[in-house]
Amino acid sequence: MLFLRQISGQISGMALGLAGALILSAGLSAAPASAGQVSPPPLVLSPNLTEPWLLQLQPRVERRSTARRYQFKQQRQPKVRRTNWWSPRQQPVRQQPVHRQPQQAQKPRTRQIAQQYLPTVVDYDGGQKAGTIVIDTNARYLYLVQKDGTARRYGVGVGKPGFEWAGTHKVTRKAEWPDWRPPAEMRKRRPDLPVFMAGGPENPLGARALYLGSTLYRIHGSNQPWTIGHAVSSGCIRMRNEDVTDLYERVGVGTRVIVL
């Protein structure tokens, strides 16, 4: 730094000397010109011309620009997360869940006879002679006793509560696809029943009928096989159409029938 200051002082002296010489020469040149000549204007050398030389010799100092000095950092606005940016009127309507009562599982009602009521041959030791029909209303079975100590067993439907009966009778008549004439007592309970219905697939008596003595009871077929094994009738003994047809061919008028 001392060396730079000495150099700067010498140069400043030289610049001042040079400026003085120029001024002196200008004064000499400013003497009255000869006739017919115009004197030039005085030459003035500004001392500012020497500043760039002096600045180059001085150490460089980094200057901050005014734009950078006064540059302010922009503050970031916090982001606002809007959950419900729509107006209340534009909000979607949320439907309340409907609480339904659980439905009780219903067992599907089969349209066929239960397997245990299908016809089969079983051992029999009830003491009744061959050819006798024995009906067990509690177990819902009809037995046709055979000679070899066995019996053909069929599933049956029996009288509903209040219409049960028991006794011994004989088959007094047989009929294929019988007509149906509901008794007066039945029509009194069921006014919707017809007075007469011709035999056929829609007839409640089914394909065959065995009439028991002088009573209103019969062993007959049914177009509702799913009722076999249940107490559903008004006292008659129901069988599947296939089963009553098989029984019809095996017994005749006069066959003894025991209802337990």
Residue-level pLDDT, tens digit, the chain, 260 residues: 544 455 555 555 555 555 555 444 444 444 444 555 666 666 555 555 555 555 555 555 555 554 454 454 555 555 545 444 444 444 444 555 555 555 555 544 557 788 999 999 999 998 999 999 999 999 999 999 999 999 999 999 999 999 999 999 999 999 999 998 888 888 888 888 888 899 899 999 999 999 999 999 999 999 999 999 999 999 999 999 999 999 999 999 999 999 99
Backbone dihedral angles phi then psi of residue 225, each to the nearest 5 degrees: -65, -20
DSSP 9: H
- Give the active site residue among 99, 169, 230, 236: 236
Query: For position 191, what pLDDT does the model report?
Result: 87
- pLDDT tens string 65-104: 544 544 545 555 555 454 444 444 444 445 555 555 555 5
What per-residue confidence (pLDDT) applies to 2? 47
Please answer whether residues 55 and 46 qualify as being in contact, where contact means their C-beta atoms are separated by less than 8 angstroms. Answer: no
Assess whether 236 carries a catalytic annotation: yes
Three-state DSSP state, 93: coil
pLDDT of residue 100: 57
Q: Could you say which DSSP state residue 221 is in?
A: -
The pLDDT score that the predictor gives to residue 154 is 98
b vs e for 126-146, b when ≥16 Cβ sit within 10 Å of the residue's Cβ? eeeeeebbbbbbeebbbbbbe
Distances (CA, A) of 13 to 9, 16, 22, 44, 216: 6, 5, 14, 18, 160
Answer for the pair 209, 219: CB distance below 8 angstroms, yes or no.
Answer: yes
- Do residues 147 and 132 touch, judged by C-beta distance below 8 A? no
Q: What is the pLDDT of residue 117?
A: 96
In this prediction, residue 176 carries a pLDDT of 97
Query: 257: part of which helix (H) or strand (E)?
Result: strand 256-259
Residue whose pair of structure tokens reads 């209802």 in the numeric block? 259
User: What is the pTM (predicted TM-score) of this model?
Assistant: 0.58
Instruction: For residue 95, give Cα distances in angstroms to 87, 88, 92, 98, 230.
Output: 18, 16, 9, 9, 49
Alpha-carbon Rg for the chain, nearest whole angstrom, is 66
What is the reported pLDDT for 188?
87
The pLDDT of residue 196? 87
CB proximity list for 116: less than 8 A, separation 6 or greater: 155, 229
Residue 9 is encoded by which pair of tokens? Answer: 């002082």
Q: Which of 99, 169, 220, 230 is catalytic?
A: 220
Give the model's pLDDT for residue 192. Answer: 87
